[in-house]
Amino acid sequence: MSHIVHDLIASGDARVVEQPAHVRHQVETDRNFGLPTALYGATIACYLGFLVIVGSAFANPVLVIPMAIIVVLIVAGFGVPAIWTRLKGNASMPETIGEFETRGIMTNTGRLSAGEATAQVLILPVLLVAWGLAVAVIAAIVA
């Protein structure tokens, strides 16, 4: 490729121009994840709900430190991206629930409706809460 360009410059057929004063980047800064904040809140609530269920079912002073570490990891796992979306230069805002219901979300495998995307986002956290409840009930019956 550079060989062809050098030949054009040498023959005088190439037009050399000055670099523009303001270079526009082709990719706009978008640190938004495309989902409404309520879905992230529901996910956090499910994860913390699981910890409350399991922590109260198996209440033991030895579990205080592991539970605190897990809570810190959950807060960090969702808090750092939340801060990242609010950095300077990020012009995008998270979608509202209405926009999400109207447009859905585009994924790597195609467009998903709001219901399909919500199911995909919340399936693991809801199953985790159900599993915590099942384990707590089984432990209460056995004890």
- Count how many residues are written for the chain: 143
- Alpha helix (H) residue ranges in the chain: 2-11, 37-57, 64-85, 97-103, 114-142
For 66-118, write each residue's pLDDT tens digit: 999 999 999 999 999 888 888 877 777 788 899 889 988 888 888 899 999 99
With cut-offs at 50, 70 and 90, classify the pLDDT of residue 30. low
Which residue is it, tokens 């956290």? 125
Q: What is the pLDDT of residue 130?
A: 98
